[in-house]
Structures are given as structure tokens and as C-alpha cells.
Structure 1
């Protein structure tokens, strides 16, 4: 899932840009490894069970990190519980659709579609928050939408199998839900909600939503499946922590280009683990979507 809210806040007074870049690169690798775990699970494990493990296991490193920062448990207080509910619901549904997309599409293509979220976020920011678009951000949105069209045309023209077309649709839904969740994160942050509380309650609510699917038939995981489920949660939780630490050591402008390594990791890991090769649509659309996402992305706090 591409709903990637972080705990971006300064932690260390001494900043080391090289360390920050290294941490950001490692966070993109951790996110890609989470995708590998989800894809390796395949259809053997229900999506709700995967969402539960992704969220519940991620709480372990998150709690340890908040305790280390001195924010446990006081940093979890909130005066906007309903705001968290809206953010959590959109983010949790996005996690379901994101994992379904990873199952249906090659890992690199599912990862690339997630980068339409900044483009959709820019559109929602203009429509819902009254933000004034700059010429550069308008150009980024146009590039991103052009890339989406180039990637989606084969699916909508019937040139892909049904599972591929469904994967593309779910990928677009994921990007839209992620953008909506990030809009709500912006609102909560402006209202004074702490990043630790936002991340913690999202993990808790997502775990509960995943747990609620238990009556629809979970499976008893064998050792290999259990390791993949735990790996999904640990990789996702550690990725967020590494991303948070990277922003405490380097400016957002220095780290931004490295965010898009997730797609390169996905290409390499998809080939290494699943013998996947990017198709022509990916090669045409990828540069447009990634460039558009880079230009349209919101500025992160320094």
C-alpha cells in the first residue's frame, strides 16, 4: 500500500545528509521487500489476514520507535478522533486494494501505479483545500495523467487478460484512496495532531479491520507462510521508521529523488523472485508517471 504516511519530525540536532540519503534508500528497499512478501503469499492467504499481519506486526517496531523518541504513550493523545477514523478507513481500504493490485500485476507495475497518488493528491488539494497550483505542479499533473492513460489504454482496450485489467483498476483506486488519506493527514497535522498518533492509530484501526474479516475464512499458516506474513509487517513498519529518520538528517529536497528507487527495486526484485519483466506499457508510462509524481508531490517538512 501505497498510503505511506510517515512520522516525519526532527529527531537529532546533528544532521548528516549522507546518512539521511542512506536511510531513505533503505526505506525504499524495505517497502519493496514488503511488496515481495505480499506477492509471494499469493492467493493462499486472504487479503484481510494479510492486512491484519501487516498492521499488527508493524506496531511492534512503531511502539519501540515512539518509546525511543520519548513519545510513548503521551504522543498518542488525540483531540480529533473522528478525523483519525476517516483517515484510517481510507488508508485501510487502500491497503486492501494495494495488496490485491500486487497479486494481479507484476510488482513493478503495481508499484508504479502507486505513484499516481501525488498527482491525485494535487488535484484533491486544489479541489478540497483551496490550494493554488503552480505552473510546475500543473505540468506534473498533466504528465502523470498522460502516463496513466498510456498505461491504462491496453487494459481498457481489452489487450490485457481480465486479471490484468482488474489490477490496473485497483491500482488507480489505490492511488485515489491514498491521496484522500493523505489529504486527511494534512488536515490532522494542521489541527495539531502528532505524527506518532496518526501512524499508531492507523495501524491499530487497520489491524482491527483486517481482524474483522476472520469469519470469512482465514487459513492456518505454515512456517513459510507465517514468516512471509510477519515479514510483511516488519518490512512495512521498518520502512516507515527509516523514512522518518532520513528526514531528521537531510532536507526533503535532497531526499526526494531517492523516493522513486522503489520502482527500480520492484523491477529488480520482481525479476529475481518472480521472473517478471516490465512490458511496453510500463516502459512508456513509467517515466511520465514518475516525473509527474516528482513535480506534483507536496513539499515535506524539513
Structure 2
């Protein structure tokens, strides 16, 4: 029996996930110059185990909830997610924030299209309007930054890395929606974390550093924020369709930019002011869509 759609709960969880994910990205950005990529992924994954195990225990699903009838699907989701994590962290370290966020926002568009094609979900006029407005806001917000620099071969390679992360993230999110029909949300997130840890450990021969003090605290924070964020995101896809949640990816992108303004002291561009209404309007239109009533007399 599948969980009925409860879009308001799903949207709220998705917004919470975006806020927590922003905390993770701030921690990752702060240590990216001093800590190797594989080590960052390892700490983010290892300390994400703490909230995930607590979540499973609270739901009385540990260890019983780890059982699965779809190991191959878990393997695909974990593999896509782990690769996306590596590519995303690498892009954040190499591109400026505006560019990295813009390219990352291709993921919900790809996810919405894939959900229609692979999961037979509806792509309604409301959702299309929300996606168009949200993506338009992203373009308005980052266009000046994108036009301010030239693009050499190295720069194109960095952009390609961010695009790869968006594609892999879309595939991982589609697998999350599919797995949520039969699998425990905690188990979905836990298997992803374990796959990321294994992938990170494979980079140990490339050279790690001994973190200490503030750097260690940021690495631990990245894991805790990431663990709670993935719990919220996984639960969101349990209560709402992927295409319904896709516009709220654009609301989630506001938090990292606000964090940059407050923490990294970046100036507030005029384009940001014009972009905020577009992004928020897109989310509001998507949320205003009426849910299709559940048929009576079915089990």
C-alpha cells in the first residue's frame, strides 16, 4: 500500500531540507580550500549516520527497517547519489556560488521530466508555470555573474562537472520517489550514506589531512546538517510527487545565497532583488494547485 499524497506536508519537509542543506554547503565551502574532496565527503557521510540511526530508532525501524526487497534499486539510488555528492562538492569548490547554484537548479527540471517519463506522474499547467517562473528567477539572479567572466577550457570543464552533478542528482531523486513506494525512508538515506562513505574511503591513498579545531567542527557540521536534510527530503518525496516538489528546489536555493551574504560578506546584487519575487511566485503557484481527490472504496 502506497502513502497517499499529502502535498502540504511534503512541501514543508522539502523547505526544511533546503534550509538544512544550506548549512551543509556553508560548511563544505568553508573547508574546501584546506581539506581534500574525498575527506570532505567521508566526514559528511560518516557524521550523517548519527541523525539517520536516531531517526530509524525513533521509528522503531532499526535494524528491522533496513531489510529490503529491492537491493538493486537501492544500489542505483546510492550510486547516483554518491557520485552526485562528489561532483557537487567539487563544483562548489571550483565555481562561484551563483554559477554553482544556477547549474544545480537544472536538476529539478530534469527530475520533473524524468518523473513524467519514468514514473508516469502528471506534469500539470500549475507545475509547468512554477518551474518556468522559478527557473526564470534563477536566470535573473545569476546572469550578471555569468556574463562577467570569459570561458576557457578549464572553466568549461568545471561547468561540465556541475552539469554532471545535476544529472546525477535528478536520477537519484527519481529513484528516491520510486523506492518510497515500498521502502523505509530511513533505509533509503542510510544506504546512500554508506555508499558515499565507501566511495570516499577509496580516495584515502590520494592524501588526506588531519583536521583540527574549527575545521573539524565544520566537517562534523556538514555531516549532521546533511543527515537531517536527507531525512527531510526523503520524507518529502513520500508525501508528494516529484513534479509537485520540483519548484521548491528554487526556494531552497535562496538559503545558500543568504548565507553567503551574511557569512562570506558578498554584496547584495540588484539582480537578486528582482529574482526573489519570481522564485517565490513560482513556489506559490505550485503550492496553490488543488490535489486530485483520492478515489473512494479502494484499499
TM score, norm. by length of structure 2 = 0.74
Query: Match for 2:165 among 174, 178, 185?
Result: 174
Task: Give the superposed CA RMSD.
Answer: 4.1
**Correspondence list, 1:150-299, <5 A:** 159-160=149-150, 167-190=158-181, 192-241=182-231, 262-277=252-267
- Please show how residues 71-110 of structure 1 align to structure 2 within 5 Å: 71-107=61-97, 110=100
> 1:75–1:197: 8 Å Cα contact kept in structure 2?
yes
Mark the CA change 1:151 to 1:159 in structure 2 (over 3 Å): closer, same or farther: farther
Q: Deviations over 1:12-56 (max 9, x none)?
A: xxxxx99x96x8766544322211110100222111111111111
Q: Cα 1:126–1:108, aligned 2, differ >3 Å: closer, same or farther? A: same
Does structure 1 conserve the Cα–Cα contact (< 8 Å) formed by 2:189 and 2:234?
no
Output one character per residue of 1:254-295: Cα deviation in whole Å (capped at 9) or x when no partner.
x99987654343223212222223556666666656765776
Number of residue-to-residue matches in the alignment = 279
SS at match of 2:253: helix
How far apart in 1 are the matches of 2:211 and 2:281? Answer: 40
Equivalent-residue separation in structure 1 for 2:169 and 2:158 (angstroms):
16
Residues 98 and 189 of structure 1: CA distance in aligned 2, closer, same or farther (over 3 Å) = same
Distance in 2 between the 1:143 and 1:222 partners?
A: 44
CA 1:286–1:97 in 2, change beyond 3 Å: closer, same or farther?
A: farther
Contiguous gaps of at least 5 residues in structure 1: 1-8, 11-16
> Does structure 1 conserve the Cα–Cα contact (< 8 Å) formed by 2:55 and 2:186?
no
Structure 2 runs not aligned, ≥5 long: 292-299
Q: Distance in 2 between matches of 1:262 and 1:175?
A: 15
Q: How far 1:108 sits from its partner (Å)?
A: 5.5
Q: Distance in 1 between matches of 2:188 and 2:149?
A: 41
| Partner in structure 2 of residue 4 of structure 1 | none
DSSP 3-state at the match of 1:43: coil
8 Å CA contact 1:83, 1:184 repeated in 2: yes
Cα distance 1:86–1:227, how it changes in 2: closer, same or farther (>3 A)? same
1:55 match: 45
Q: 3-state DSSP class of the match of 1:44? A: coil
TM-score, normalised via structure 1 length: 0.73
State whether structure 2 residue 30 is matched by structure 1 residue 40. yes
